Amino acid sequence: MYEIVDRIVRVLKKIVPRSLVRPLLPAYHRFLGFFMALWYGFPARKLVVIGITGTKGKSTVAEMVFSILRGEGYTTALLSTIRSAIEDHSEPNLEKMTLQGRGFTQAFMHRALRAGCTHIIVELTSEGVLQYRHQFLELDALVVTNIQREHIERHGSFEKYVAAKRAIVDALVHSPKRSKILVANEDVPESRAFLSLPVTKAIGFKESELKHLQGNERGISFEYGEMHFSLPLPGTFNAMNALAAVKACVALGVPLSTAAAALAALPAVRGRVEHIDAGQDFLVVVDYAHTPDSLRALYSAFPKQRKICVLGNTGGGRDAWKRPEMGKIAEEACATVILTNEDPYDEDPRAIIDAVARGMRRTPEIIMDRREAIRSALARARSGDAVLISGKGTDPFIMGPRGTKNPWSDARVAREELERLLSKL
């Protein structure tokens, strides 16, 4: 049914003027969500559904929860910005949206049930709330990683963005499931406030709980609950992601020891502090880092390295406020900053880059071709340096004017250019 609905909607979008459809969109999204849940027999009611939301860290926490639940022996599915997975079968998310519409989630949960899954992790966004995609998910648990300024133009204000996150928490509050678990970041006022809502278990997590925190450019370790945790991802922010995942899984009945073992063996999370290794004597890292705080956190994960930074920025038509701030952060942390194109959409890509540069005191190098920018950064690296490529993560396209999509992968391009560079040595 999902495939049929998807084809019909794609055809209608081409022939029906958007101005006629716009007033009907809220009713359309609500009806379609209910109809698709009904068609597939409300599959969420037969699964343990764990939602993950927040401004940053969602995909990483989702991967961590996925690994921990599988480590406990649960047959588990995953829907995230990065991929959809049922146990070992995984497909990349190529849709440039975290939670796909038109009943995709209900269809996927139905598939997961038929595959014998008992648990599913679903990454949820404020954008999805605008299309009512958080409804009919029948949440058992929800993790709120953090809330920071993001998508301001899309929602109209930071307060409305927070309200969209609150709508996701309300979906948990009103879920028909008997036990409802909320795990939220206590270090952030907006997410801390959610802990007062009426759920079965309201569990906070905060950085001060991370004891004996140690790390390097390849990973981080800490103690929690008299258990030692280590994971192959660097940065305090990833320790916080791990703490959120651990607390959610423990609330679902998973022993701490199982969580620790699963995180120690955590597979690489694509596009999230992803190391690209081809035998070089310097680091090459690809990361999403789409907010000022996440960019600052990425750079702080490599305190001992001279950093050569390739910086795009937020896509065209959104969050213009943070462009100069991202430039300022990069200038302060990096020995060399190369500004480059990312996702201009219908905006002038050079105007976006110029806005980033306005936050910098020294004149940055600007290379609009993203491959050329990566090639230049790699060529400048010396032994022990870190080349940090931020802004896209696993995004599969560079988005241009009038909806054009150019296939892209930061990781693939970095590897190709790295191998080309090493072949010349």
CATH number of the domain enclosing 287 = 3.90.190.20
| Residue 90 domain flag | yes
Question: 232, 264, 296 — which closes off a domain?
Answer: 264
36 and 178 inside one domain: yes
Query: What is the domain count for the chain?
Result: 2
Q: In this structure, how many other beta carbons lie within 10 angstroms of the beta carbon of residue 341?
A: 21
State the pLDDT at residue 31.
Answer: 77
Which of the 8 DSSP states describes residue 220? Answer: E
Query: What's the sign of the alpha-carbon dihedral 90, 92, 95, 97?
Result: positive
258 and 369 inside one domain: no
| Residue 363 domain flag | yes
Tens-binned pLDDT, residue by residue, of the chain (425 aa): 656 656 655 655 566 566 665 666 677 678 788 888 899 999 999 999 999 999 999 999 999 999 999 999 999 999 999 999 999 999 999 887 888 877 899 999 999 999 999 999 999 998 888 888 888 999 999 999 999 877 777 787 999 999 999 999 999 999 999 999 999 999 999 999 999 999 999 999 999 999 999 999 999 999 999 999 999 999 999 999 999 999 999 999 999 999 999 999 999 999 999 999 999 999 999 999 988 999 999 999 999 999 999 998 667 777 888 999 999 999 999 999 999 999 999 999 999 999 999 999 988 999 999 999 999 999 999 999 999 999 999 999 999 998 899 999 999 999 999 999 999 87
State the pLDDT at residue 425.
Answer: 72
333 and 203 inside one domain: no
203 and 316 inside one domain: no
413 closest CA partner among 282, 298, 310? 310
Strand ranges of the sheet holding 219-224, from the earlier edge strand across to the other edge: 211-216, 219-224, 227-231
297 and 260 inside one domain: no
338 and 416 inside one domain: yes
Query: What's the sign of the alpha-carbon dihedral 205, 207, 210, 213?
Result: positive
β-strand 48-53 against 119-123: which pairing, if any? parallel
State the pLDDT at residue 326.
Answer: 95
| Residue 296 domain flag | yes
248 and 365 inside one domain: no
Give the domain CATH number at 256: 3.40.1190.10
Question: 237, 264, 291 — which closes off a domain?
Answer: 264
| Residue 177 domain flag | yes
Question: 217, 245, 264 — which closes off a domain?
Answer: 264
180 and 329 inside one domain: no
State the pLDDT at residue 20.
Answer: 62
| Residue 269 domain flag | no
pTM for this predicted structure: 0.92
102 and 190 inside one domain: yes
d(CA 411, CA 286): 6
Contact at 8 Å (CB) between 310 and 374?
yes
State the pLDDT at residue 215.
Answer: 93
State the pLDDT at residue 262.
Answer: 98
Burial of 382 (0-12, 13-18, 19+ CB in 10 A): exposed
- Count of alpha carbons within 13 angstroms of residue 296, beta-carbon side: 9
353 closest CA partner among 388, 389, 327? 327
Strand ranges of the sheet holding 89-92, from the earlier edge strand across to the other edge: 89-92, 83-86, 76-79, 119-123, 48-53, 141-144, 181-185, 201-205
285 and 405 inside one domain: yes
249 and 308 inside one domain: no
247 and 283 inside one domain: no
| Residue 257 domain flag | yes
| Residue 160 domain flag | yes
State the pLDDT at residue 144.
Answer: 98
Which of the 8 DSSP states describes residue 364? Answer: P
Range of the domain at 321: 274-423
Contact at 8 Å (CB) between 117 and 75?
yes
| Residue 114 domain flag | yes
